[in-house]
Structure formats: structure tokens, C-alpha cells
Structure 1
Amino acid sequence: MAKQISQETFDDVVKENIEDFEMTVEEAIAEAVQQFETQGVNLTMIIRDASLYSADGQKSVHPVVEALNSLSLDEKQGAEEFDPNKHLDIVRQECDIDLSRRCFAGKNNAYPVLLKTLKNFRTSNKEMFVKTLETMCSLCNGQPDLLDEDGAEYFMDIMKDESNDETVIALIVKLVRLNCIKHENNRKMFVKNDLIKELVRILTSNRKSPTIVKEVSYGLRCLTLDDDLRVPFGSAHENAKQIVTEGDALRSMLEICSDYTSDISVQRELFSTLSTLVVRDEFCQEVKDLGGLDLVLNSFQTNISQKGIVKQVLGLLKALAGNDEVKIAIVKSEGLQLILAGMTQHQGNAHIAAVGCQALAALVLRQPAHCAIVMQNNGHHVILQTMKVHPNDENVQKQACMAIRNIVARTRDHCTAILEMGAEELINRARNLKSCEDEAKAALRDLDCQVDLKIRWTGEKGSLAQEAY
């Protein structure tokens, strides 16, 4: 793990460089950066702004500290001098620069000061209340650890207020979402306080607002993430299940999708969230039964030139293909041809290449008839072309190997056509990428190519001998 230092330590070295070596402020900062980086210190959270130092190396009081000190004073103690608008602007603008500024603000009590300010202005000054919400969003971006139980309860109290206008609704949903990203305990705390129920309520009651629909979609999706490395496992699956079963979210989101057929930015968010919610066989079936599959494929065909839509539709089709009946329905609706067309049109996009191969792998798995359709439409050409276009992208190579493996696993008569396109050389090249070895070997094995598969344990006592077969 990289070493960390405090802002004060960095400032002391800058001052020392100026005093002892007669450097300019800019030179002193550059020298301090080089010195610490040589020692393996991570300076991500360190502010390196030359304007904050005087010519003799003295550090001026940071504008954020001054602004927070002013905001923390009782408004009545200096009504003439008190200008919350100015102070909130300073804090927000600094926090929006980078994570180091947000971290510095957080260490100087920005969170409790802004929480108190939020409470003070909620009923007395709508404009300042909104501005404080915006500033709190800037502060909490990438800093979910700042949240405490009091704040979580208060944010949910705001969210539950049905008198909020569109601006406040969008901001409070964004604020809660920012505090859920990469923080499992925060997610649990919000879910315990009825977050899922409130998000679905807001979504259905504000379906005519594209801003709110997108923000709530993102908020729901964040609850299905398993992105907190500090916990062994999270509640992503349970949250997704609760969103669907208790909120009837699939029906609501599909109905809203039909309202935004001409707004791909909204559809993109809805499709992305839907792909994280269909975590059970019956959920995939429900999407089909509600007409969602036709809606998704129609949007795919209409917007195939839009890479944002193509990415999300491919991910959703891959997720829906977890249900065998839905898988067959996708292929009957010429979904395979659409996937290949989208991959061809956007072959330079690595994400589309990878998720396209994933979708193909899912649709042909244990389905020989689907494999034949892929081959008839030159799908093997498309897959191998993605390997040529993205030779160093491990995810593309891995997913392409899996797609090839699934095509030939039960239909070996396709091996010759695939090998004639140079598949063996491409897959052997993919084997050199660290995370692709197992998938590449599986593809080579099922293509009937020569491949050494190692048995790491032969069962001989006292021996870890390896042998190939």
C-alpha cells in the first residue's frame, strides 16, 4: 500500500525548500512532489496550489476554511456581514476541482457545517437550501465515509417530503446516491430507512421529468453494486430482488421506457438499471411477459448508430438470456442479427466488443440451433475481428474466447470454418494475457486444437508433480 502524508507535512517541505534553497513557490512545490513520489508517497489527496503560498513559503488560510468558519457562526451574530451564498459558492467550487480539495474540506468539518446549514435553511430560505444541497453533493462525491446516521436519517426525511419540487427531488436523490457508491454500510443504512420504497415512489410520480427518471434510475442501480472492497460480500442481490418484488419496478420502468422512445439518454439509464435488476429467472420472464423484450429490440434497431444505447441493450440482452425461454425469444426476434450488426458498426469500441461477445456467448450456450444462426450470419467473423481490433484488451479477448468456445462446445462441425479464419493463432495470442488463459485454453480444447492442460495435483503423496494430458 502506498504511503500517505498530511497536507501539513507537504506544506512544511514546500516552506523548507523556499527558505533553505531559495526556490520559487512553483519550484518548491515541484521539488516536494518529486521528493515524496520518489519515496513512494501517494499525493492524490494533497493540494498543490501555488496561489496558497506566499513568497516566503507561509501558507495562507485556505478559502474553504474561512468559508466554513463563517458558515458555522450563528447567522444572527453578524447579519450584515453574513453572506451564505458567497461562502457556499467557495466551498462548492473548491470541492468541484478534485478529490484532494474535497478531502481537505472534509477534514475541516465541512460535512457537519453543511448539515447544520441545510437544516437551518430548509424552511427559512429555499434558495439557500438548494444551494446547500448542491454544495453537499460536491463534498460527498467520492467521500461516502463522511456520512453519519444523523445525516442519513435527515436526507431520507427530505426525500420523503412529497412537497419537494423537481430541483430538490433530483438533488436529494443524487446526494443519497453519492453516499451509496462504494459504501455497503451506507447502502444498508438507507435501505433500512425505506430508500427503495421512496425511490420507486419518486420514479412513478415524476415519470414526466427526464431529469428525475435518470437520477432515480442511477440511484436504484447503485443499490445493486458490489463495489465496497472493505466488506467480504454485500447485499446487491437482495436489494435487486427487493426493488423488483416490493416496488414492482420492472413494470414501472418498462412503462416509462415507452414514454421516452425519442430520448435515448433516458432509455440508456433505464436499460442499464434493468440489466442489474433481472437477477432471477422469473424476473427475466416478467420483462418478456410485459412486452419489454420487443421494446428493447425495437429501440436497438432504431438507435443502432448510437453507441450509448447499443452498450446498454447488449448488457440487458445478455442478462435476459439467463432465462432459456427468453433466450429463444430473443433469437426468434432476430436479436442475434441485431447484436452482430451493432458489434460491426461499433467494432472500434472495446466495451461494445466485450459485452457483445458476452451476449453472444449467453445466447448460444446449450443451444446448437442458435450456434448455426450465428455461423450463417458470419458471427464468427465478427468475433474474430474484435480480437484483431482489440489485441491487448483482456476483457474483449476473454469474452471472445468464451463466445467461440460456446459456439463449438456442442457443435464441433463449426470448428473448421472458425479455424480457417485464423482463430487458433488469435486465441493463442490471447493466452499470453494474464486473465485470459483459462478461457483461451477452453476455446482451443473445444476447437480440437493442441493445448497443454496441466493437472496441478496427481494424487501422489508428497508430490506436486504436474503432467499434461
Structure 2
Amino acid sequence: MAQAWPKAKPKLTQEAFDEAVSSNIEDFDMSREEAIKSAIEEFNVQGYDLSGVVTNMAGNDLQSHPIALACQGLRDACGGQGSLPEALEALSTSLQASTSESSGGGSGGVGGGSMSQEASVIAHKGGAMQSLLEACRQLQSQTDQLLKALKLLQVLLGWLETRDAFASDATGVDLLHDLLRAEASTPEVRTAAAAVAEAAARQVEEAKCRLVDSGLVATLLEQLQAPEAPLEYVGAACGVVRSVTTADDERPPASKAFMHARVLAKSHAAIRVLLSVLRRVPAATEPATACRVLATVRQVAANEEICREFTDDGGVMACLQVLKECAAQRDVCRACLGALRQLAHSDTVKRLLAEAGAVGEAVRCVELHAGSDDVAEVALGLLGNMMLRQPEICTKAAESGVPEMVVEAMQRHAPRAPVQRQACLVVRIMVARNPELRPLFLERGAEALLRAAKAAHPASCRDVGSAALRDLGLDNYND
């Protein structure tokens, strides 16, 4: 049955909010602060979405706000009335100033890649995104200014409504595609254009589809094949491929993420391109880029056929080699385990990994990062996928210390529902077809840990915990 997402809340307009604040002041003799607080509470109770409202500016003239004035200045400059470089600088300064004030010192300013709600809403209402697209078109021969415009565009796309507007304006995707293909574009410009595309695709299904349908993602994959592609560009391009193959927009009834993965793998050799990139990236010295490549592999390897192609070309062994070399680097370790976890849905990959020592590597990773619940969760997930319907691998896992590791992980990460759920699954998988392994868990106190997981995390662990207790041969497993 398809997932039924919650019905979207109605959007509250700035005008309706301002009117409610004014009414509270005039009719109930409230102070401005009290009136704003009361209006927020009232609209929240009524179920409105206030994300597009500037609450702390209610009753003021937003058109006089420095960001609104900067947006107007940029529109004028794009129309030939003023200097574009000066207008870009003014917009950047106004966004930084507003964000600094709202974040208590600028820790989340424009340079950090995020903005306050106030700054985002005013910039969106002022048409900053559309003006920046026009500025990019006019500045293609001025690399420094073009990069500044693209950086501002990427920051503005942190706001969902701006991303929706970008997706609805096909000229934005066309502009990015032109910048990627232009012979005059520098590697820095291509990297910035890819970063904008990735930002636009986050949680917006329409943008994902436009990026794939326009051929932009295919262009990225073609350019990734160049041995001289800079690492910054590799990371940005992989980010786009990963975004369009990730179903993270809850609003449409369905996502094309799986179809995108199939099309990109079949028609544009995506999984082979990613393998060639993975082999080029020095994971030990460039962990951030390696993590992005591995995360993209995880998303593109969406079915058995793609997993088999990646495996036949040596991809599984390449991932495992990175894991062995960089297990001590937490982020790379987690990314490798995540990619292998996805690939291990294939029966062929399960056996290959077991023969290559992946079980022992997973246990070692958990030991190396004993305090990291996310490493424990993904390592347990990998082991569960490897051992599912594979009794011989379950036996090898028992000999490699998996029962001890599972019990220790449950004890160490008792508050973490994802870890507890994966641990429950691993216990069940190991003993379901190998009853001789039951004592290895029972003698270490697994029963009490499983019951505790069910009690502490009923939504995540009640079903899998009961199944594990049942397959351990215990009575009252539903209690």
C-alpha cells in the first residue's frame, strides 16, 4: 500500500498575520510583543503553516527592510539601472547582516550557507532568486561576479518556497546546464553550478525531474569520467546524482527516484562512472569527497541488476578496500558501510562479502567507533542484509564475534532506537535458521536486552523484538 503522507497545512499570508497582530493591539490593548505571540499561538491552533510569514516584523513595512531594498536594487541593475557587482554586494551584505542579527553573532550567516526565516522570506518575496538567475546570465564573462551570484543563489535555495519557485521556472535548470556545458566555464563555475543544482533538488520532486529530463545529470556523469575532474567538482556532481535518486519530498503521491536510478545506470552508465571516480579519489586524504561518492553509490544501486553490474566490475571489492584502509576515519567508515549495506541486498554480494572478510571488518568498525551509534546502526544493518537467508554466513558471523558485538551495542546504545531495531533484526536473522546459535545470545543476556528494547522503543522495536524472542525459543515473546 502506498504511503499516505499527512495533509499539507494551509499557508498563512503575511497580510492575514499582520491584520491579526493589529487587531490584537487595537481591540485588546496588547503590547506589540504580546500581540505577535497571541497571533502565533492562534494560527498554530488553527493548523496554519507560518513558514512563509515574518512574525517579528509584523505591522512594519517590509518593503523598507534592507533585504527588500537590496532585492529591488538587484532588479534595477539587471534592467540596466545600476552596477550589477555593486547590487550583488549589497544583497550579500544585507543577507549577512540580517542573519547575523537573528542568529546572535553571525554563526549561521550567508558565508555558512544558511539564513534566518526572516531573511529567507523577505528575499523570496523580493524576487531575489529570479534576479540572481538574470544576473548569472549577464555575468557569464565575469567569472568572479558569476561565482558570487551562484553562491548567493545556492544560499537562497536553502528555503523550500524558493526551491519550489526555482523548480517551476524551467529557465533556472537551463541556465545551470548551459554553464556546465560552456567551453568558457572554469572548473570553479561548473562546481558552483552543480552545487546550485544539488541545493535546488533537495526535497523538491519537480526539480529532481527537471534536472534529469533536461539532460543536466547526464552531462554531469559524462564530465565525471574525465580523469582531470577536480575533486571539488566530483563532490558537487555526485551530490546532484544522489539528490535526484533520493525520495525526500513527501508532498507528491509518488517519487521517480527509483526510476531515475535505473535510467541513469542503464542509459548513462552511472554506476560504472561512480566506480571509476571511487578508484580515483584518495579516501584517506580526501574523506569528504570519498563520502559523497559512496553515498551516491548507495542511492544509485537501487536494484539487483545495478548491484550485479557494480559487483562484476569490482565495485564491491573497491568499497571493501576503502573500508579496510580508512576504517579509523568515522565518516568514511560509515559511508562505506552504508554503500555495502545497500549492495548486500543482492545474494551474490552477500556471499562475496562474506568470503572477503566483510563480517570481521564490520565488527572491527563498531569496536573502533564504540561510542558512535550511527556506525553501530549501519554496521548492524550491513550484517543483517548479509546474513538474511544465508545460514552459512550466520555461522561465520558467530565465529567472528557478532553475538558479543550485538549484545555490547544494545547495552551501550540503549537509548538509540535505530541501533536497537537493527540489533533485534540481527539476532532474529542469526537464530531463525541456525537454532544452535541461540545459546550464544541467551548466555550473554540477550533476552533482557530485547525486552528492554521493546519497552523503551515500542514503535521501532516491538515487532522485531518479539520476533527475535520467539526465534530464540522463548515463551511470552509478545509480553
> After the TM superposition, which of the residue ranges 87-96 and 154-163 deviates more from structure 2?
87-96
1:301 corresponds in structure 2 to 324
Query: How far apart, CA to CA, are the structure 1 residues paired with 2:415 and 2:319?
Result: 31
Query: How far apart, CA to CA, are the structure 2 residues paired with 1:397 and 1:238?
Result: 32
Relative to structure 1, is the Cα distance of residues 81 and 236 closer, same or farther in structure 2, using a 3 angstrom cutoff? closer
2:4 corresponds in structure 1 to none
Structure 2 counterparts to residues 230-241 of structure 1, below 5 A = 230-241=251-262
Query: How far apart, CA to CA, are the structure 1 residues paired with 2:135 and 2:192?
Result: 16
Are 2:89 and 1:89 equivalent residues in the alignment? no
1:130 corresponds in structure 2 to 147
Are 2:285 and 1:267 equivalent residues in the alignment? no
* AA at the equivalent of 1:137: Q
Query: How far apart, CA to CA, are the structure 2 residues paired with 1:168 and 1:82?
Result: 17
> Any conservation in 2 of the 1:207–1:256 contact (CA below 8 Å)?
no
Relative to structure 1, is the Cα distance of residues 45 and 347 closer, same or farther in structure 2, using a 3 angstrom cutoff? farther
Query: How far apart, CA to CA, are the structure 2 residues paired with 1:116 and 1:18?
Result: 42
Q: Could you give the per-residue CA deviations for residues 333-362 of structure 1, whole angstroms, max 9, x where no partner exists?
A: 111000011012223222212111111111
* AA at the equivalent of 2:143: K
**What is the root-mean-square deviation of aligned Cα atoms in Å?**
2.9
Query: How far apart, CA to CA, are the structure 2 residues paired with 1:86 and 1:103?
Result: 19
Are 2:350 and 1:347 equivalent residues in the alignment? no
Are 2:36 and 1:32 equivalent residues in the alignment? yes
Relative to structure 1, is the Cα distance of residues 3 and 289 closer, same or farther in structure 2, using a 3 angstrom cutoff? closer
Give 1:59 shift: 6.6
For 1:326, which of 349, 357, 369 is the aligned residue? Answer: 349
- SS of the residue corresponding to residue 452 of structure 2 reads helix
2:426 corresponds in structure 1 to 403
1:449 corresponds in structure 2 to 474
2:70 corresponds in structure 1 to 67
2:5 corresponds in structure 1 to none
Relative to structure 1, is the Cα distance of residues 161 and 190 closer, same or farther in structure 2, using a 3 angstrom cutoff? same
> After the TM superposition, which of the residue ranges 174-183 and 70-79 deviates more from structure 2?
70-79
Unaligned residue ranges in structure 2 (runs of 5+): 1-7, 99-109
Relative to structure 1, is the Cα distance of residues 118 and 225 closer, same or farther in structure 2, using a 3 angstrom cutoff? same
2:103 corresponds in structure 1 to none
For 1:178, which of 178, 185, 199 is the aligned residue? Answer: 199
1:145 corresponds in structure 2 to 164
Query: How far apart, CA to CA, are the structure 2 residues paired with 1:336 and 1:396?
Result: 17
Give 1:38 shift: 6.4
Q: Could you give the per-residue CA deviations for residues 269-301 of structure 1, whole angstroms, max 9, x where no partner exists?
A: 111111112222232233233222332222212
Query: How far apart, CA to CA, are the structure 1 residues paired with 2:475 and 2:212?
Result: 52
Relative to structure 1, is the Cα distance of residues 400 and 77 closer, same or farther in structure 2, using a 3 angstrom cutoff? closer
> Any conservation in 2 of the 1:207–1:213 contact (CA below 8 Å)?
no
Give 1:45 shift: 4.5
Unaligned residue ranges in structure 1 (runs of 5+): 455-469
Query: How far apart, CA to CA, are the structure 2 residues paired with 1:180 and 1:248?
Result: 21
2:239 corresponds in structure 1 to 218
For 2:187, which of 166, 177, 181 is the aligned residue? Answer: 166
> Any conservation in 1 of the 2:350–2:386 contact (CA below 8 Å)?
yes
1:461 corresponds in structure 2 to none
Give 1:35 shift: 5.4
> After the TM superposition, which of the residue ranges 205-214 and 218-227 deviates more from structure 2?
205-214
2:132 corresponds in structure 1 to 114
Rg: which structure is higher? Answer: 1
1:440 corresponds in structure 2 to 465
> Any conservation in 1 of the 2:194–2:240 contact (CA below 8 Å)?
yes
* AA at the equivalent of 2:296: T
Are 2:382 and 1:359 equivalent residues in the alignment? yes
Query: How far apart, CA to CA, are the structure 1 residues paired with 2:273 and 2:339?
Result: 17
> Any conservation in 2 of the 1:63–1:90 contact (CA below 8 Å)?
no
2:106 corresponds in structure 1 to none
Are 2:420 and 1:426 equivalent residues in the alignment? no
Relative to structure 1, is the Cα distance of residues 60 and 67 closer, same or farther in structure 2, using a 3 angstrom cutoff? closer
> Any conservation in 1 of the 2:447–2:469 contact (CA below 8 Å)?
yes
> After the TM superposition, which of the residue ranges 178-187 and 57-66 deviates more from structure 2?
57-66
Relative to structure 1, is the Cα distance of residues 170 and 91 closer, same or farther in structure 2, using a 3 angstrom cutoff? farther
1:101 corresponds in structure 2 to 119
Relative to structure 1, is the Cα distance of residues 17 and 164 closer, same or farther in structure 2, using a 3 angstrom cutoff? same
* AA at the equivalent of 1:72: R
